[in-house]
Amino acid sequence: MPIYYQERSESDTTGNQELFAPGSIVDGRYKILSLIGQGGMGTVYLCEHIYLGTRLALKVLDAENISSTGIRRFQQEAKLIVSIEHENIVTVHDFGVIADRYPFFTMDYLEGESLAAVLAKKGTFTTTEALPIVKGICAGLSHAHAHGVVHRDIKPSNIMIIDDTDNSDNKRVCLVDFGIAKLSTTNHTEEQSLTRTGEVFGSPLYMSPEQCAGEPVDERADIYSLGCVLFEMLSGTPPFLGATAFTTMVQHYTREKPPTLKEATLGQEFPQEIENIVAKMLSKEVNHRYQNLTSVIQDLGDMEHGRQPRHVGTTFRERNQKSSQDKVPIVFGALTAVVLVAAILLFWQTNQPPGAQSVEPPETANRSATSTLTPTSTSTYSATALATSSATSISTATSTSTSKSTSNPASTATSASIQTSILKPLTAPYDGSKLPSIDAILIPEHPEMLSRIAQPISSADLDKLLSHPDPDSRLDLRMRILTSDDLIKIGKTAWVEHFSAKGAKISNQALSNLTRLKLWNLNLNSSNFNDRGARAISKFNKLRILNLGNTEVSDDGIKEISGMKILEKLELDGTEITVDSLNSLRHCRSLNWLSLRSIKSLNDGDVKPLQSSKLQFLNIEDTAIGDKSVESITAMQELRTICIGESKISIRGTEALLNMKSLKNIHYTVNENINAENWKQLQAKYPKINFRRGMHQGDSYN
């Protein structure tokens, strides 16, 4: 969905400030003493319980957020905090509604300073000073994760450092502001309904790549954000700091890796162990990151006791050393005003007229980003502004299309009023907590639209990258415009075995230049890949993993690649393939992993061609596949994992799946077909099956 960004200026006094002046009595129990501040969803006051004499913080939903969705989000924040009581998480005491209009809840009033305030005064922490603070954050956040809660907005201003005793060395760390937290086990449909118009979604300085791209997030997104915080504590600056929120988000998503702490501090030496830990927390790919905070705590503890961190392998150490010694980074650079406006305008999601041919990128050396600006039709965005005071925030906007394809969501044409202040640069000094005021940033409604804002890479930068082999034989050129000349160069680079062009704009036919590579993993998700590209890669005889999710590939293209003899894993999420493609995939004898998530053109019963396959993993989430397909699925004798969240399979059909001898794991959601109590009964009845509530997270396509 599109993402809308707005930050309230310090002079903005809208909301509930005038409504609850000092001395006001709230809900007959709480006397307002002063205004503390404002966050993404509401205003926070210092109050006193008039009967008990205790001081508390009282958070009230802002007037502009009073809607059914806003109230549900606010209630969710209170419920989430109550459900995860922990010494490192702020405690909620009461919840109510003022004057039948303003929801509120009370929580601990924390005597201390935010980490952002401490950083503004202190500048940096030593490693010895930082580790106990980060371990405290990990403890609280790990507890939240264990209860299925993902914070989604970890940043210095949401971390309080509290003096619990007169001993200044004894400080407690406390996480606050769960206003945009979510249950990782939340019903997918419910989650979508809570993240539409006017909902905060994150803070660009600390957002994970998947969060910047609008993709599903889990606890590993919090780990990335915490890595950004730790990086800032040690170096004095976040790992990525663009001139605007937009460029910062692009850097999170496109930059191959963050600088080392040594690079960020212009030569200051840090223990290699902390460099490795930070690098792993900040890995772009979720599957390369720490998978849980317990591992982070263990590695930090190992480091404190002089031991080698147990979860940081040789790969991370070698990669960091090579990066600091001789690897020349790609210059993604400061985008010029022209290029940045061009990128934003490309969010218009140009709509091809009926019968128009898709346009390939230029085959010449012309690499001007502005040459791609050819919007052909428009529609209108309506956005509800959601203001915050202390942190850059993200909320969503909805679009009402005036020219929309009924078959392909990628063809939805949109336009937006582009605010000139989006180009406003950062001004010194940087205070470590927020970006300057920016009125609007629009992110594509559909992942495949990422290719519409792809940026060119210069020949010199590409040459530098290709001349320095990656230790994992991995080449990452996501969100780039790749011409045939670029692909010819890449095709001559023998060390490339794993190529990611996620969100890229590629010359489809020129992909044939990669045939001579020992390419085994190819990620083209959200690119402009089409049937011509499928024809070009059909001769890749070493390919084992292929991600074509959210691309323009059709049944004809799938027929082209169905002859790949050793293809094992294939993602087709969000494409428009039909049962004809599944018929073609019968010929992929080595295929054991298939994801068909969110393919709206598949009907119940369409999986029948796969019933004799060797699939071990099948994802049919968010499709029309239901009980008519169960017989075919149960015929898959090697199936170990099935993902059925938001599909049409009933409780009866689910039981049939659970009775499969080979099945070990099931990913599910609570929905209209199967309620929470049903799932609880099924878990008790099938104790050998691993039940995972929530949509499947992550993939195998790094």
Q: Among candidates 548, 599, 498, which has minimal Cα distance to 287?
A: 498
SS (H, E, C) 4-59: EECCCCCCCCCCCCCCCCCCCEECCCEEEEEEEEECCCEEEEEEEECCCCCEEEEE
Whether residue 198 sits in one domain with residue 90: no
Residue 359 belongs to some domain of the structure: no
Range of the domain at 29: 3-108
Q: Tokens 């590579």 sit at which residue?
A: 517
* 670-695: b (≥16 Cβ within 10 Å) or e: bbebbeeebbeebbeebeebeebbbb
Whether residue 626 sits in one domain with residue 594: yes
Residue 669, pLDDT score: 84
Q: Tokens 């239901």 sit at which residue?
A: 626
Is residue 666 within 8 Å of residue 690, measured between CB atoms?
A: yes
Whether residue 59 sits in one domain with residue 89: yes
User: In the beta sheet, which residues pair with residue 98?
Assistant: 102
Whether residue 42 sits in one domain with residue 87: yes
- Identify the CATH number of the domain in which residue 668 sits: 3.80.10.10
Q: Tokens 């503890």 sit at which residue?
A: 301
Domain end (from 91, 108, 125): 108
Whether residue 578 sits in one domain with residue 481: yes
Give the residue ranges of the chain where pLDDT is below 70.
Answer: 1-19, 39-41, 62-83, 99-101, 164-170, 178-202, 243-244, 255-256, 313-453, 697-702
Residue 243, pLDDT score: 65
256-306: pLDDT as tens digits: 678 999 998 888 999 999 999 999 999 988 889 999 999 999 999 999 888
Residue 375 belongs to some domain of the structure: no
Residue 183 belongs to some domain of the structure: yes
Distance separating alpha carbons of residues 279 and 223, to the nearest angstrom: 11
Whether residue 491 sits in one domain with residue 461: yes
Residue type for 47, please?
Answer: C
Is residue 504 within 8 Å of residue 478, measured between CB atoms?
A: yes
- Identify the CATH number of the domain in which residue 154 sits: 1.10.510.10
Whether residue 142 sits in one domain with residue 229: yes
**Quick one: CA torsion of 226, 230, 233, 235, rounded to 10 degrees?**
-130
Whether residue 138 sits in one domain with residue 238: yes
Residue type for 62, please?
Answer: D
Structure tokens given for 431:
């205070």
Q: Which helix (H) or strand (E) holds 129?
A: helix 127-146
Angle of CA points 559, 563, 565, to nearest 5°: 150
Residue 462, pLDDT score: 93
Whether residue 74 sits in one domain with residue 121: no
Residue 410 belongs to some domain of the structure: no
Q: HSE of 691 in the Cβ direction (CA atoms, 13 Å)? A: 21
Residue 39 belongs to some domain of the structure: yes
Distance separating alpha carbons of residues 34 and 315, to the nearest angstrom: 52
Whether residue 621 sits in one domain with residue 528: yes
- Identify the CATH number of the domain in which residue 21 sits: 3.30.200.20
Whether residue 71 sits in one domain with residue 11: yes
Distance separating alpha carbons of residues 147 and 153, to the nearest angstrom: 17
Q: Sheet harboring 30-38: ordered strands across?
A: 25-26, 30-38, 42-49, 55-61, 102-108, 92-98
Please, which residues have CB within 8 angstroms of residue 81's CB and are 6 or more apart in sequence?
89, 90, 91, 92, 107, 178
Is residue 671 within 8 Å of residue 644, measured between CB atoms?
A: no
50-109: pLDDT as tens digits: 888 889 888 887 655 555 555 565 566 556 655 677 888 887 777 777 766 677 878 888
Residue 430 belongs to some domain of the structure: no
Residue 609, pLDDT score: 96
Whether residue 195 sits in one domain with residue 69: no
Domain end (from 74, 108, 142): 108
Residue 422 belongs to some domain of the structure: no
Phi, psi of 44 (to 5 degrees): -115, 130
Distance separating alpha carbons of residues 97 and 100, to the nearest angstrom: 6
Distance separating alpha carbons of residues 363 and 507, to the nearest angstrom: 8
Q: Which helix (H) or strand (E) holds 140?
A: helix 127-146
Domain end (from 325, 348, 381): 325
Report how many domains make up the chain: 3
Residue 352 belongs to some domain of the structure: no
